[in-house]
Chain A
Amino acid sequence: MLRVYRLGLTDYGQASRFQERLTEARIKNEVSDTLVLLEHPSTLTLGREDDLRHLLVDRETLTRQEVAIEATDRGGSITWHGPGQVVGYPIVDLKRRGRDIHKYIDDLEEVLLWVLADYGLSGGRDESRVGVWVGAEKIAAIGVRVRRWVTKHGFALNVNNDLGVFSLINPCGITDRGVTSMARLLGRRLSMDEVRDRIVARFTEVFDFELEVSPEGTEG
């Protein structure tokens, strides 16, 4: 059974605390597997301590552009979140899924590849780098943390968001490849709700869930 929360625009720290509570509850088996879908205000998140070396501008520039910086405990390197990007945080117990975190990452990529295919976009994997790519450009980033086989953090899919912000950093520490978005590839802005619907549909399919009706209201 999968629960889906759609939180809308949510502050990064607030979302982290919500995830933390869900993860704790999932470990104690107090809640079912959960998918949190939301958008963040413009925020750079750091996956490791020395990620600041991938920051290409000074802090003042970030403040001026109203970009927040947050340290996180997920895997992966620096990335950006912001409005127009669908962020998904699956809280999933991998003990029931063969205890294989590589397979989990592979499944997350699979969900996103199918969502792209739903829009006629042909995405791909890069054997050596986690994430989803269209041609040589990255369209979705993945970063996860696992405690007692329960996952948190997850994926960020570029839908309508500004791509200019990525020029402030080397996203994920990658210096030789660009980023893209669904809107850029399709030449039109997409309905965020529709994309989230597709993500929920493909997520339940790939992970073989029965969908539980979304809980009323939002938390956080």
Chain B
Amino acid sequence: MAREINIPKLGMSMREATLVEWVVAEGAKVDEGQVILVIETEKTKWEVEAAAAGFVHILISADPDRKEPVGQVVGQIAETKDELKILQAESPAPAGAAQAAPAAAKAPAGKAAPAAGGRASISPLARRLAEEHGLDPAQIKGTGPGGRIVKEDVLEAIEAAKKAPAPAAAPAAPAAAQEASDLETVDGKRVKASLSLKTGMRGAIARHMQGSLAVSAQLTLTGEIDMSEVKRVRAQLLKKEEQLGVRVTYNDIFILALTRALKNFPILNASVIGDEIKVWEDIHMGVAVAMEGQDPYTSGLIVPVIRHADRLSLVEISKAAKELAVKAREGKILPDDVTGSTFTITNLGGAGGGYGYGTPIINQPESAILGTGAITDRAVVRGGEIVIRPIMTYSLTFDHRVVDGYPATLFMSRVTELLENPGLML
């Protein structure tokens, strides 16, 4: 009985592989465990060994530019020479695969018809679709070339499955009890979910934050800014929203003030590179944007960059920020959109935390980050009187290797001055 040679599944997420090289020729006699084929997936070459002793019959020739799905039958191992001849007659080996084989072997290079009794050929897209819907490709009828299962076939099968009567529901066990007993337990505590700290956005954030704390000397300065004037200006801008073509946010106004203040205090717009502090001429503002996490438990974070923000007007800043935020949320951000910032602003007030402070972590390789809190009505003293004013808190984290407390304080005084007297930014 002939054995099939399949593309093995070498990982959970593996779907396809390239046939790099048939190590043996058509009809070659092989021993069990002998390497007969090399395939490649994700820059890894894998040596496929003969599952049994016999004679190799090649069905699909090696082609470094084509991918075959996992499970695809690419060859067979016949037990005897006679069986080999039968297999060769049933489905001839592709041209070129067979120096040692009879000259009769002639088939269109590449595509081989599905072997008799073998698993059906299926396109990678169709396979993925089938897996996602829990369908067994062997149960799907292929209508593509040579009976290959294509996307349409799977879609049809999905529809058919929907129409089929649902299996009778199992008697409802006490759901909570059932679930509780299934939960993993670690140190006597039950686990609701296990999330990877290594992969995806969580991994990127973890490395970036831990790396930042590891390489710099960070400390945070906090204070309050009276937002009465900014509020008034913003109210006016909102009235002109249609004319401006954009809804200006508080964050946009902060970015305007920051870029102007950074012009006065360039040391806050600097990076440590090697043994030097590079004070940047260009001002590229990173704007932290919260995103939905990959699971129900965590959030995500991305920092798109507004380039040359100091050269932009408030409306231009507003438009650029919105565009980047939309791109970020739609997952259309490019590497260039999130690299090269020289200072970062993060809005901590948006989540409704009320009056409060934080200690943001510097977005490396920058030397400072400003966190802004919510704007809340507070009792403050003006001219010897207690009055109610809209107050915003801020938290400026800076790298003490680069900036001392004095210039950091002067910088925030300038930002405060600009926000309390927006006319200065005209």
Interface residues of A (CB under 8 A from B): 47-50, 73-76, 99-107, 110, 113-114, 116-124, 130-131, 133, 135-136, 142-148, 186-188, 206
CB-CB nearest in chain A for B275: A188
Contact partner, A122, options B14, B20, B46, B207, Cβ 8 Å = B207
Count of chain B residues near A, Cβ 8 A: 41
Contact A76–B43 (Cβ < 8 Å) = yes
Candidates A50, A103, A105, A188; contact of B64 at CB < 8 Å: A50
- Bound Cα distance from A107 to B40, whole angstroms: 18
Is B215 close to A, CB under 8 A?
yes
A113 to B204, CA, bound (A): 9
A110–B204 Cα distance when bound, in Å, is 10
Contact B216 A120 (CB under 8 A): yes
Q: Which B residues touch A133, using CB under 8 A?
A: 335
Complex Cα distance, B47 from A147, in Å, reads: 5
Assess whether A105 is in contact with B43, with CB atoms less than 8 Å apart. Answer: yes
Main DSSP-derived SS at the A contact region? mixed
Q: Using A100-B11, A101-B10, A118-B214 as known contacts, say yes or no to A75 and B335 having CB atoms under 8 A apart.
A: no
Would A117 and B41 count as touching, CB distance under 8 A? Answer: no
Instruction: Give the distance in Å from the alpha carbon of A119 to the alpha carbon of B335 in the complex.
Output: 20
B356 part of interface (Cβ distance < 8 Å): no
Does B217 have its Cβ within 8 Å of any Cβ on chain A? Answer: no
Interchain Cβ contacts under 8 Å between A and B, 22 examples: A99-B11, A100-B12, A102-B41, A104-B44, A105-B43, A110-B198, A110-B199, A117-B210, A117-B211, A118-B215, A119-B215, A120-B211, A124-B204, A130-B43, A135-B340, A143-B44, A144-B45, A145-B45, A187-B273, A187-B275, A187-B278, A188-B274
Contact of A102 (CB < 8 Å), options: B42, B47, B208: B42
Give the chain B neighbours of A122 by CB distance below 8 A.
204, 207-208, 211, 364
Contact of B45 among A73, A187, A188 (CB under 8 A): A73
> What separation, in Å, do the CA atoms of A73 and B45 have in the docked complex?
8
Docked-complex contact A186 and B273, CB < 8 angstroms: yes
- One of B10, B42, B44, B216 near A99 (C-beta < 8 A): B10
Residues in chain A near residue B12, CB distance under 8 A: 100, 102-103
CA distance A187 to B275 in the complex (A): 8
B278: nearest chain-A partner, CB-CB = A187
Chain B residues lying within 8 Å of A110, measured Cβ to Cβ, are: 198-199, 203
Contact A103 B207 (CB under 8 A): no
Beyond A107-B198, A120-B214, A188-B274, 17 extra complex contacts between A and B, CB < 8 Å: A73-B45, A75-B43, A100-B12, A102-B14, A110-B198, A110-B203, A117-B207, A120-B364, A120-B365, A122-B208, A124-B204, A135-B336, A135-B340, A146-B47, A187-B273, A187-B275, A187-B276
State A121–B211 Cα separation when bound (angstroms): 8
Residue of A nearest to B204 (CB): A124
When distances are taken between beta carbons in the complex, the residues of chain B under 8 Å from A147 are 35, 46-47
Given contacts A48-B64, A101-B11, A118-B211, contact A136 B336 (CB under 8 A): yes
Distance between A54 CB and nearest chain B CB, rounded to angstroms: 13
Chain A residues within an 8 Å CB radius of B210:
117
Instruction: Scan residues 1-43 of chain B and give those whose CB is less than 8 A from a CB of chain A.
Output: 10-14, 20, 35, 38, 40-43
Q: Report whether A101 and B211 are in contact in the complex, using a CB–CB cutoff of 8 Å.
A: no
- Please report which residues of chain B, range 318-368, place their CB below 8 angstroms from some CB of chain A when the two chains form the complex: 335-336, 339-340, 364-365
B303 to chain A, nearest CB (A): 10
A48 to B44, CA, bound (A): 12
B212 at the interface (CB under 8 A from A): yes
- Measured between beta carbons, the chain B residues less than 8 angstroms from A102 are 10-14, 41-42
Q: Report B50 CB to chain A, min CB distance, Å.
A: 13
Residues of A within 8 Å of B276, CB to CB, are 187
**Which residues of A have CB within 8 Å of B35?**
147
Task: Map CB proximity to A onto B201-228 as digits: 1 under 8 Å, 0 otherwise.
Answer: 0011001101110111000000000000
User: Separation in Å of the A26 CB from the closest CB of chain B?
Assistant: 14
B78 to chain A, nearest CB (A): 24
Contact across chains for B364 and A103 when beta carbons are under 8 A apart = no
Task: Tell me how far the C-beta of B324 lies from the nearest C-beta in chain A, rounded to whole angstroms.
Answer: 16
Residues of B within 8 A of A75 (CB): 40-45
Minimum Cβ distance to chain A for residue B54 (Å): 20
Task: Tell me which residues across on chain B come within 8 A of A130, comparing CB atoms.
Answer: 42-43
CB distance from A43 to the nearest CB of B (A): 18
Chain B residues with Cβ under 8 A from A206's Cβ? 198
Say whether B14 contacts A101, CB under 8 Å.
yes
Give the distance in Å from the alpha carbon of A113 to the alpha carbon of B216 in the complex: 18
The residues of A that contact B43 with a CB separation of less than 8 Å are 47, 74-76, 105, 130-131, 142-144
For window 203-255 of B, CB contacts with A under 8 Å fall at 203-204, 207-208, 210-212, 214-216
**Do A144 and B216 touch (CB < 8 A)?**
no
Chain A contacts for B214, CB-based, 8 A: 117-118, 120
A76–B43 Cα gap in the complex (Å)? 4
Residue of B10, B210, B273 ringed by the most chain A CB atoms within 10 A:
B10
Min CB distance A136 to B, Å, is: 5
The smallest beta-carbon distance between A24 and chain B, in angstroms, is 13
A183, closest chain B residue (CB): B274
Chain A nearest CB from B348 CB (Å) reads: 21
Least Cβ–Cβ distance between A45 and chain B, in angstroms: 13
Q: Are A146 and B46 in contact (CB under 8 A)?
A: yes
- Cα-based distance from A146 to B42 in the complex (angstroms): 12
